[in-house]
Structure 1
Amino acid sequence: MTVNADTADFLINTEHPISSKHQRYPKSFLKLILLGFSLVGAPLIAALIYSAITIDSLAERSHETIYQATEITHGNRVLADEVLAMERSLRQAVILSDLSLLEGYIHSHEKFEKTAENFTKLPLHAEHQLLLEKMRLSELIIYREILKIKDSPDSLTILQIQIESFTKLLAAVEDFKNLGNILINRYANEMLETANQVRSNIEIQLLAVIPFVIFLAIMFSILITRPIKQIDEAIYNLGQGELLKPINVTGPQNLKQLGKRLDWLRRRLLKLEKQKNQFLRHISHELKTPLTAIREGADLLAEGVTGNLSKKQQLIADILHSSSLQLQKRIEDLLSYSAIQAAEAALVKQPISLSKILEDTLQNQNLSIMSKKLKIIRNHQDIVYECDAEKIQTIIDNLLSNAIKFSPPCSNIEIKISHDKKCVKLDIKDSGAGIHKLDRDKIFEPFYQGQSIPDTHVKGTGLGLSIAQEFALAHGGRIFLMNFPEPGSYFRLVLPMQNN
């Protein structure tokens, strides 16, 4: 089995893909998507982790602050209560002259010392610590003096003096309490400032991360959709028959490989298209020679050169003549289409009256018009236009032939030529059944046959509108199928006023 050059190239490229040394994309489309999600998600995950750590740190600090504030508040209350309890015990001992009541004082003293010791474990400020030490020292002096009165005859007098010392101690406890409240307020303010700072940091981070993430998302969306769009465009061009433009897909290696296969398919289709056009040209030229002989023979018979014909013989001769004309038209369509596809249909432009081209076309179609008793309604201006007269006449002839073919007998065909500063317009409307909705997007495709064809008409090649559209495009214009509320078809030829 032989393998042609294009197939060999494709097999080589498939087995030995192009090196990805300088490739910007991952080898796999899936890897590209995963990489995109990873890079887009990474800043968001980092921001989320940072926010979680910051909020956790803030919560821990808030817990410590609340604990310290609670301990300070509770300690202040205990210190004040125990000082009052010690003073009360001393007063009871003096009033009742019973030194055994000093046991309550000793118990309150121990609790006072324990609470003061707990305060030293808290992160107090220097002023706060100094006042705490001053209170402890004052209370300790009172305690030592009271311990000495057990062996003294003037114990009640000494107790009375120590009771007065509690006034200064209570004042110191009150100052300590006020400092504690100030410290608590300071803690609260520090927490509020820390919370505001954390919120500001998170907001700044979000303001920085969100645009960056959006940029990454857009960038990777472009990177991901670009090869898909290229493949979609390539497939669309293949479907439209645009086979000259090479297909190049950038992106991951597997999509590049798909692009190479599409380009291989394009080259194969282009080769087949050339073979088809070559076949059409050859077969059309081959058919013209015997067709010429048939036409000449039919003409000689119809003219009676070989002798007078009977009515039946004359009818057969007329049928041969008519069929040969139809066959010649089909062959000419094939040749015109082949010439267009082979880029041989060069334009020969010259200024010419569009009204004259229209009149000549109507004259050529006069027999068909008269046989169906059609009424041609003309509304046109005399416009001199620089164009290839033969090809413009072919366009009008094909549009008019379709209008005549699909128009019912005794109906109207409207033809209008108008222009403005930008373009020339030629409108042809008929009163037939119209274009089926399934045919509207395909009627300009070569060899396409519509849904509705008159039973009385010989089926054509489906090249008329395709050739007309190609000739219109060659002039820089286009043929449009217009929306028409009334029954029938409405075609518009638009040609630019200035065309090269």
Structure 2
Amino acid sequence: MKRTLELPGLRYPRSFLKLLLLGFGLASLPLILALLNATAYVDRLTTQSQAAVDQAAEAARGSRVLMEQVTAMERLARQYLILGDAALLADYAKVRNGFKRTTSDMSLLQLDESQLRELNRTIEKEQALFEQLGRKLDKGAGRKQLIGGYVELSELANNVLNQSNLLIDREIENMGEAARRTQRSLLWQLAASIPLGVLIAMLFAFLIATPIRQLYHAIRQLGSAEFATGIRVRGPADLEYLGQRLEWLRQRLVELEEQKTKFLHHVSHELKTPLTALREGSELLADGSSGVLNRRQSEIAEILRHNSLRLQHLIEELLGYQQALASINRIEFRPVDLSDIARKVAEAHKLAIAARNLELLLRLETAALIADADKLRVVLDNLVSNAIKYSPEGGTISLAVRAEQDRIVIEVDDAGPGIAAEDSERVFDWFFQGKRGHQGRVKGSGLGLAIAREFVLAHRGTIDVITERAPGAHFRVILPALRTQG
């Protein structure tokens, strides 16, 4: 079973659903925190902006009222100086009381230094003018100086109003700067929370994928009949329990494989001894060692001899099947040249080809790869044997090996009855025997192509029947041109 990375000391939740919910919750947590923090920032900015607007508006309102009051006091003072009416002085005192309340309220606001300085100068100037107004003034220079003082007081009140307008502008600018700072802060938080959320999501994706991947490899291992390695799944309790059941299934399959192997081994060897005696007896009868046989007796002896040969062939194939199953997972990768293996296989079948008056066409290119030479020899041997079995007398068999970029291609063609399209996949099943007639003397067991497919798959290759060509059967094997072992 393929090993997977595990985090030491990590404790999974008891269920896969809890792991999913925990993953979704933690992955969304940074974004939720960023959203809450953004809400707090906006609330704070709103509160600060409202306070600043209120203060600036109050300062502007107070400055306008102050300007109106100074104007009213100047008018009353001029009238008093001209008319000398005591009622005008009383009205002046009332307006002055409002002036004092206004300046007192404005002094409580959070004004800056320049505003406070102008406000204090205005208060001091008005106090000096009021004291001067209460004294008896000559009608010449004294009154002129007093009127000039009120003009200066108006200018000071106007300065206070201008400072209030500047305060409004500064507060607007400050609110804009605060908004920009808040925006930058929120962008930085967003820039940090998104990667953090993605990182947490990737972590939980790994934690979720690890047991799933372990289950996938375990099921694939069982499907490929790789029973040597134990199955262990680490994750939530429900997935671990599923892994334990798969391990139990693996052990049961191992026991069944051992029982099947023992059964085949026992039956094959138990049959070989009486079969050998039966075949030798039929041979003695057929060659006349026990006396001359008539025609009918000769036919019976030939039937016995033919079927004993067939039974011996089937037993040998069963033993070969047993050995093939045992060796599928024992692949010894070495540098090989597939064209050399193909020549040796062709040489091994030379007598069988000559006996059937067949022609074997070899189209072999240098095809170097890292593979198990014995397993590939079995593949080629079974494909060529299959072609010889189904080729008619005097037919032609083609064996081609070529290299194509990063793969090696093997093609074996014969001129026999071919393979039906509906059997193109089933022909590689264990013990499958198609409907097409064969020309060999002994009927096959349906194991050769199945063994060939297992050995090809063990090399991470493919074997297929090419149904587009006619006549005959056409097999194509594609192997990766591996450059490193494994």
How high is the TM-score relative to the length of structure 1? 0.75
Q: CA deviation at 1:382?
A: 11
Q: Which amino acid aligns with 1:398?
A: N
Q: Does 1:55 align with 2:42?
A: yes
Of 264, 267, 280, the match for 1:283 = 267
Aligned residues of 1:291 and 1:324 also touching (Cα < 8 A): yes
Counterpart position of 2:234 = 250
Counterpart position of 2:188 = 204
Of 78, 90, 110, the match for 1:123 = 110
Aligned residues of 1:75 and 1:119 also touching (Cα < 8 A): yes
Q: Which stretch shows the higher mean deviation, 326-335 or 272-281?
A: 326-335
| 1:109-129, Cα deviation, whole Å (9 max, x unpaired) | 454444333312310123422
Q: Which amino acid aligns with 1:415?
A: L
Q: CA deviation at 1:64?
A: 1.0
| 1:429-452, Cα deviation, whole Å (9 max, x unpaired) | 235545747854x7555x2527x5
Counterpart position of 1:363 = 351
Counterpart position of 2:469 = 486
Counterpart position of 1:413 = 397
Change (3 A) 1:280 1:142: same
- 1:305-344 matches, cutoff 5 A: 305=289, 306-310=291-295, 314-343=298-327
**Structure 2 CA distance for aligned equivalents of residues 285 and 246 of structure 1:** 32
- 1:392-403 matches, cutoff 5 A: 394-403=378-387
Aligned residues of 1:82 and 1:112 also touching (Cα < 8 A): yes
Q: Does 1:65 align with 2:49?
A: no
Q: Which stretch shows the higher mean deviation, 131-140 or 166-175?
A: 131-140
Q: Which amino acid aligns with 1:122?
A: L
Q: Does 1:299 align with 2:287?
A: no
- Secondary structure in 2 aligned to 1:415? strand
**Structure 2 CA distance for aligned equivalents of residues 316 and 448 of structure 1:** 29
- Secondary structure in 2 aligned to 1:251? coil
Q: Does 1:453 align with 2:435?
A: yes
Q: CA deviation at 1:259?
A: 1.9
| 1:145-191, Cα deviation, whole Å (9 max, x unpaired) | 66x59xx8999999876544320111101221232233333333433
Aligned residues of 1:376 and 1:415 also touching (Cα < 8 A): yes
**Structure 2: which 5+ residue stretches go unaligned?**
1-7
Q: Does 1:230 align with 2:230?
A: no
**Structure 2 CA distance for aligned equivalents of residues 499 and 187 of structure 1:** 75
**Structure 2 CA distance for aligned equivalents of residues 382 and 91 of structure 1:** 123
| 1:11-41, Cα deviation, whole Å (9 max, x unpaired) | xxxxxxxxxx955333333333333333333
| 1:328-364, Cα deviation, whole Å (9 max, x unpaired) | 22211110122233459999x9998853541331422
- Secondary structure in 1 aligned to 2:235? coil
Q: Which amino acid aligns with 2:28?
A: G
Q: Which stretch shows the higher mean deviation, 112-121 or 172-181?
A: 112-121
**Structure 2 CA distance for aligned equivalents of residues 496 and 182 of structure 1:** 81
Counterpart position of 1:430 = 414
User: Would you say how many aligned residue pairs link Structure 1 and Structure 2?
Assistant: 465
Q: CA deviation at 1:464?
A: 0.8
Counterpart position of 1:192 = 176
Q: CA deviation at 1:280?
A: 0.9
Q: Which stretch shows the higher mean deviation, 484-493 or 153-162?
A: 153-162
**Structure 1 CA distance for aligned equivalents of residues 216 and 436 of structure 2:** 39
Q: Which amino acid aligns with 1:173?
A: A
**Structure 1 CA distance for aligned equivalents of residues 375 and 282 of structure 2:** 29
Of 225, 228, 240, the match for 2:224 = 240
**Structure 1: which 5+ residue stretches go unaligned?**
1-20
Q: CA deviation at 1:327?
A: 2.4
**Structure 1 CA distance for aligned equivalents of residues 67 and 366 of structure 2:** 117
Q: Which amino acid aligns with 1:226?
A: T
Of 38, 50, 66, the match for 1:79 = 66
- 1:139-178 matches, cutoff 5 A: 139-140=126-127, 142=129, 162-178=146-162
Change (3 A) 1:97 1:459: farther
**Structure 2 CA distance for aligned equivalents of residues 214 and 493 of structure 1:** 41
Aligned residues of 1:399 and 1:491 also touching (Cα < 8 A): no
**Structure 2 CA distance for aligned equivalents of residues 388 and 84 of structure 1:** 112
Change (3 A) 1:176 1:281: same
Aligned residues of 2:353 and 2:359 also touching (Cα < 8 A): no
**Structure 2 CA distance for aligned equivalents of residues 379 and 153 of structure 1:** 136
**Structure 1 CA distance for aligned equivalents of residues 365 and 167 of structure 2:** 100
**Structure 1 CA distance for aligned equivalents of residues 95 and 477 of structure 2:** 112
- Secondary structure in 2 aligned to 1:217? helix
- Secondary structure in 2 aligned to 1:278? helix
**Structure 1 CA distance for aligned equivalents of residues 150 and 372 of structure 2:** 125
**Structure 2 CA distance for aligned equivalents of residues 498 and 81 of structure 1:** 97
Q: CA deviation at 1:47?
A: 2.3
- 1:38-49 matches, cutoff 5 A: 38-49=25-36
| 1:240-278, Cα deviation, whole Å (9 max, x unpaired) | 100001112122333223222221211111111111111
| 1:379-438, Cα deviation, whole Å (9 max, x unpaired) | 34899x9x9999776544421233355668886431235689999875312355457478
Change (3 A) 1:281 1:112: same
Q: Which amino acid aligns with 2:347?
A: E
Q: Which amino acid aligns with 1:138?
A: K
Aligned residues of 2:466 and 2:476 also touching (Cα < 8 A): no
**Structure 1 CA distance for aligned equivalents of residues 402 and 137 of structure 2:** 140
Aligned residues of 2:390 and 2:437 also touching (Cα < 8 A): no
**Structure 2 CA distance for aligned equivalents of residues 130 and 388 of structure 1:** 100
RMSD: 4.6
**Structure 1 CA distance for aligned equivalents of residues 331 and 132 of structure 2:** 130
